[in-house]
Structure formats: C-alpha cells, structure tokens
Chains A and B, each alone.
Chain A
Amino acid sequence: MRISVDLNRCQGYGQCCFADPSVFKLRGEEVLEFDPAPGDEHRLKVIRAAKACPVQAIYIGESYEEQEERSHRHE
C-alpha cells in the first residue's frame, strides 16, 4: 500500500494521527510526517485515517510491488 498526502491541503488537524499513530505523526503543531509505504497490517487504520481527514488530503494507492504483482496477474 502507498500513501500520499497533499501537504498543501493538509491543515494539521491531526485526525489521521489518531487513526494510525504509527503511520501519521504531527511534528510540532503543523508539520505532518507519514510513512509513505506502510505494511498491509495497517490497511484498515490507514483507510480510517484517509476518511477522517477533514480536508480529504490523504490518497491511498498501491505500492510498486502491488502494481507489479497485479500486472503479472493480468498477463
């Protein structure tokens, strides 16, 4: 799983940090730090984080490996 956050939209509400504190962290009061490629065990929590973001700044996609795997499956 890959995550990207539009940091121009992010307003530091910190809602994502509550959904998955080990993936999303606010440094100081404003700056969001996050793990862009968390393991699969984080899937549900990351979905919760993305849906809770008041400005919908979090995007969830597939990791490079997942894309590879999928394209192989389709071959």
Chain B
Amino acid sequence: MTQKSKIDFKQILDHSHIANPYPLYAQFRETPVALQEDGSYLVSTYNEVVSLLHDPRISSDMRKSDAQKRFMQQAKQKREEMIAQGQQVEEPEEIVPAFIFQDPPNHDRLRRIVTSQLTPERVENMSSHIEQIVKEHLDKHAQGGQIDIVDDLAYPLPVTVICQLLGVPREDEAQFHAWAEPLASVLDPGQVQTEEQQKQIMQAGRQMREYMGQLLQKLKAQPGDNLLSGMMAADDIDGAMSPRELISTAVLLLIAGHETTVNLITNGTLAMLRSPELLERLRQDPELIITYVEELLRYDPPVHFRTRTALADIQIAGTTIPQGATIILVLASGSHDGQRFERSEELIPDRQGNEHLGFGSGLHYCVGAPLARVEAHIALGEISRRLIEPKLALDPPPYRDNAALRGPRHLPVNFKGLRS
C-alpha cells in the first residue's frame, strides 16, 4: 500500500508507454486497488474490475464525482469573476449527457430505444455493405506498393458504416473525421489540459450537435430506413427520446463507432504482420478469425480504461473507496490478469472461454459490439487473405495521443499486390 510511486496512473498517460503499456499494467496489478495522488482509485485486476462494473454503487455520471463538482464550481467562479469585471461571457450550453455517461433508470430507457432499433436484422443487412466497402478500399491498391491500414481502410470503414446505419448522407461524412478525434479525447484525462484543446473540443461538439439537429429535422420530414428515423419514432414505456437526447445519442453512436473499431482493425493487422506463423494460420483457416478477433479484444484492445464515481463507500480488495471518489477501471489490465487467463501475456488466436473485457461488462456493455465484430471479421479476414507478402514498414508504428482509446495513428504496410 505504500508503493504509491510505483502505481502511478499518470504513467499510462505518458506517451513513452503507449506502444506497449502492458508491462506497466502488470505492475499495477500488484496492488489491485490503488489510491492515486489526486484521490482517485486505480483498479487493475480482473475480478475487481468486473465486480465494480456490476456494482450498483458506482456511477457513470461524472456530474456525481467530487472532482467534477470542484471543476464545475471553479468554472462557475471564473465566469462570475469575468462578469464582475465587465467582460462578455458566453452562457454555458446546456448539454444532455449521452447515455454512456448516465445511470439507471434514464440510461436504461435511452439504451432500450437504441437497441430496439439496432436490431440483429439491421446489423445483418449491413454485412454485405461492409464486404463491399472493404473490397472497394483494398481494390484501390491492386498494384501493391504501400497501404496505410489506418487511413486507407480501418478509419474510413467504421465511419461509412455508422453513417449509413444512422442515416447521415455520405457526402457529409468527411466532416465527421474532423469532429470525432477531439471529441474522443474527452475520454482521456491526460489530454484535456490546455485551454486551446478544451476550446477545440467544445467547438467540435457544438458543430456536431448543430449538424445533428438539422439532420434530425430533415429526417423528421422525410423518414428513411435508418437508426435515426427509427429512434425518433420509437416509443418506450418510460417515454420517447427528447430532441436533445436524440442529438446526444446520435453523437455518441458516431464517436463510439469511429474511434474504437479503427483500433481493433489496426491492432489486428499489426499483430498478424508481426507473426508470419499467425498470418499463415489465418490464411489456412478462415474460421480462425472469429476467435482471433475475441483474442485481440483481450490482448490488444481499443478501449483501455473507463472511469466511474463511487456513490457510497465501497470496500474492495482490502481498501475502502470513499463516496465521491473517481474510480479508474483499467479494462485492458483486467484482460491481461494472469490469475484469470492462462498465458495471459501471449496472443493465442484460438483461445477458448475468452471472457475478455474488450467491450466492458454489465449494464454499459458495448451497444455496437455486434457491428464492430462484423466489421473486424470481414476487414481482418480480407487483409490476411488478399495482401501478397505484406510487411510492416514501421515497427512500432506511431500511436495517437489518446491512452484510453489507444491505437496507431498510421500503419504503413508494404506489399506486392492483391489476390482477387
């Protein structure tokens, strides 16, 4: 308990660990629940992460944390001071938090409306589109040379898919790239520091909500066979979605789909190109992709940690987490816990009984998991099958700054051509 310096969460946020944070996580796990300098608690072992994810005494609503309350208080004070000095101050925009940042019962109502529309049939109907999109992107490189797996496939694919599913016109897609990255950085406490960055995030958020508001108006007049029209029309025993809720839900679905699936496909390509044996096995046995993708979600997942707030004093692993404290659940560390997974630091593409935490667990379990799986199966299947003599041009590749939604910024691969 006294080794505070050893278990310092800030190390995760340090860019020097980003290419391989797993040895750091192994150190974290020596103290399953560790108090941090700033009063938050770092949770790194499988059982403790799962038990907290299922504990009704933790909240996903940041407004309930002491840290957030202090922050809001300071912001309010600053505004009042500025007003007192006669400065022009913008009214803060009232934002309904997306349901990933809400608790039951409202979380459940909003999630239910989403899942009533994101049906197995809708996802199944997307799979031929997904095949088509993957083919189009790869076919552009028929002559071989160099492909950037991120820019040329893994990033555009989920964007196109979620835009189609939601009902965003394809010509508006490009705008979303620009908005999504700053917004996703909100999930990474290490990043939202400079005032400039904060401004950028607020602006991206405002523009995206404005755009969504307009799109919803259009779809209201002319509904289509898409998620947004469906959510707008959907009723629920506890009440339909308000226009504000529709907007925040739409923005969440867009970002959650953008900044995660890209990493799954890229990490999956990276791992198979690091191991010629693995690549060969995937080629010989196309069904192996199913367990391979689950193993990636365990071994090198897109989402590394999520935060929660304690709503009561919680006793766990010999520690008491006090009410109001921020809890950092390191999902990626839980999935590497040697107490839970045999040979936990090895990538085993046909691992059995793989209850990884890649999509979380409990009531916030990823809504988009079925879609992400279809995208990853098809994209990684085609990458392994079609590229002729692929070689990593850079290893390790450059990583994006975000430690929570972690993945390479680029993954240049040299290859000789494409199989048909």
Contact = CB atoms under 8 A, between A and B. Distances in A.
A55 B355 contact: yes
Query: Looking at chain A, what size class is its interface with the partner chain?
Result: 10 to 19
A47 B359 CA distance: 19
Interface in B103-133: 112, 115, 120-121, 123-124
A52 B369 CA distance: 9
A64 interface: no
B416 interface: no
B354 interface: yes
Contacts of B120: 17-18, 21
A44 B353 contact: no
B355 A56 contact: yes
Contacts of A48: 290, 373, 377
B287 interface: yes
A15 B369 contact: yes
A29 B237 CA distance: 13
Contacts of A29: 112
Given A54-B359, A56-B355, A47 B124 contact: no
B342 to A, nearest CB: 14
B291 interface: yes
B398 interface: no
Nearest to A50: B290
Nearest to B351: A51
A48 B287 CA distance: 9
Interface in A1-55: 13-15, 17-19, 21, 29, 44, 47-48, 51-52, 54-55
Interface string B255-292: 00000000000000000000000000000000100110
B294 interface: yes
B123 A56 contact: no
Nearest to A24: B120
B23 interface: no
Contact of A54 (B112, B121, B365): B365
Given A47-B290, A51-B290, A18 B370 contact: yes
A15 B120 CA distance: 9
A47 B370 contact: no
Chain B contact residues, majority secondary structure: helix
B361 A54 contact: yes
Nearest to B290: A51
Nearest to B108: A29
Nearest to A45: B124
Nearest to A55: B355
Given A13-B365, A48-B290, A54-B365, A19 B355 contact: no
Contact of B123 (A18, A44, A47, A55): A18
Contacts of A54: 355, 359, 361, 365
B378 to A, nearest CB: 12
B121 A21 contact: yes
Contacts of B115: 14
B353 A56 contact: yes
| Max chain A Cβ within 10 angstroms of own Cβ: one of B120, B124, B354, B373 | B120
A15 B354 contact: no
A45 to B, nearest CB: 10
- 5 residue pairs, one from A and one from B, having the closest CB atoms: A18-B370, A21-B120, A18-B120, A51-B290, A56-B353
Interface of A: 13-15, 17-19, 21, 29, 44, 47-48, 51-52, 54-56
Given A47-B287, A51-B294, A56-B354, 17 more contacts: A13-B365, A17-B120, A18-B370, A19-B370, A21-B121, A21-B124, A44-B287, A47-B290, A48-B373, A48-B377, A52-B370, A52-B373, A54-B355, A54-B359, A54-B361, A55-B355, A56-B353
13 contacts: A17-B120, A18-B123, A18-B124, A18-B370, A19-B370, A19-B373, A21-B124, A47-B287, A48-B290, A52-B369, A52-B370, A55-B355, A56-B355
